[in-house]
Amino acid sequence: MLTQEQLARFHDQGYLVVEDIVDKPLVLQPLINEYDQLMLSLCEAWVAEGLLGRDVLQGSFASRIRQAYAAGLDYFQPLDISLPPGEITPDVPFHAGPAVFQLITSDSLLDVVEQLIGPELTSNPIQHIRIKPPVNELSCDEVRAHITHTDWHQDRAVTLNEADNTTMVTVWLAISDATIANGCLQVIPGSHRQPMLRHCPSPQLSIPKTQFNVESAVALPVRAGGAVLFHPQTIHGSLINKTDDIRWSFDLRYNVTGQPTGRPMFPDFVVRSKLDPESVTVDADQWRAMWQNTRTRLAAEKPVVIHRWPEDPVYCA
């Protein structure tokens, strides 16, 4: 639970670092184990196809990630906890496993989120895994925000405009210790007080640095099992991973139940409710089925659009 002082700091600054927000043996370790198995099976398939050498099967989780990246294999989408934007195929991989469900619905985490936005809580479908290899192993044209550093943006801008007034919070959870050296999050304190700024769509969704005072940025190291919580208008990004190990985080979001999620084509679900406790989804299989059904439906529909920002050659120059 947060102290009054922490709550006041969140509302004043637009962010808060909370160490040990989830239980290590009960929540973090099962998650790490689940991903270890998943990455091993991906690598086994790639070995069988001749895309990776057998030695990858002896290595660690981190070395498998790095070897997959080096071989040009996409480890990201099969590990991600969302469908991708754009064209959805009936077999596009994603991961909605039981340990991830346990994380999203973890009581200690929801207790904190409840203190920030109240007891009617929905898991917002804008949620990702980010496993960042060392920058010196990335190809020089790598721009993807789930692989390299993330440019400055507000999370409000990754929703459709239906959610412009939705009360929501982002929970950025460190799975490995996040440090200044390996690419922790950085924020602009107090920036949640301004409205959403215009964003540019490429090479990553971002706010031009001319639009805010980048000098006031604060880097937010946090240990594994801890989180950075922030407001949807807080300007943030992440640093480059300058170490020789991976940097691993999840970003989850919650909104007040009944308000638009900003990604209506993807499934949300109630994680906590005082008004209607029966409405809470408690079954991990049911949650996975929601995503599977969504994939089937979207495979027959137009490509998924996740933001509203056109390229503007003057503003975005």
Ligand X SMILES: O=C(O)CCC(=O)C(=O)O
Which residue, 88 or 185, is less far from ligand X as judged by CB? 185
DSSP letter for each residue of 205-273: SB--GGGS-GGG-EEE-B-TT-EEEE-TT--EEE----SSS-EEEEEEEEEETTS--S-TTS--EEEE-
Cα separation, 85 vs 71, in Å, equals 24
Q: How many CB atoms lie within 10 A of CB 168?
A: 24
249 binds ligand X (CB under 6 A): yes
**Closest by CA position to 95, among listed 305, 287, 237:** 287
Sign of torsion, CA 13 15 18 19?
A: negative
Whether 260 and 167 have beta carbons less than 8 Å apart is answered as no
Interatomic CA distance for residues 221 and 227, integer angstroms:
9
Smallest separation (angstroms) from Fe ion to the CB of 41: 29
* Under rule CB under 6 A, residue 76 binds ligand X: no
Residue 264: asked if its preceding bond is cis (omega within 30°), the reply is no
Binding mask 119-158 for Fe ion (x = CB under 5 A): ------------------------------------x---
- Are the C-beta atoms of residues 13 and 189 closer than 8 Å to each other? yes
Q: Answer with the entry of Fe ion, ligand X, none that 238 interacts with (C-beta below 5 to 8 A by kind).
A: ligand X
Least Å distance between CB 101 and Fe ion?
22
Q: Closest CB to ligand X among 43 and 127?
A: 127
251 forms part of the interface with ligand X (CB under 6 A): yes
Site for ligand X in 167-206 (CB under 6 A): 170, 172, 185
Shortest Cβ distance from residue 309 to Fe ion (Å)? 14
Minimal distance, residue 143 CB to ligand X, in Å? 12
123 binds, among ligand X, Fe ion, none (CB under 5 to 8 A by kind): none
In angstroms, give the least distance from the CB of 63 to Fe ion. 28
Q: Establish if 130 lies at the interface with ligand X (CB under 6 A).
A: yes
Q: Which positions lie near Fe ion, rule CB under 5 A?
A: 155
By CB under 6 A, name the binding residues for ligand X. 130, 145, 150, 155, 170, 172, 185, 236, 238, 249, 251
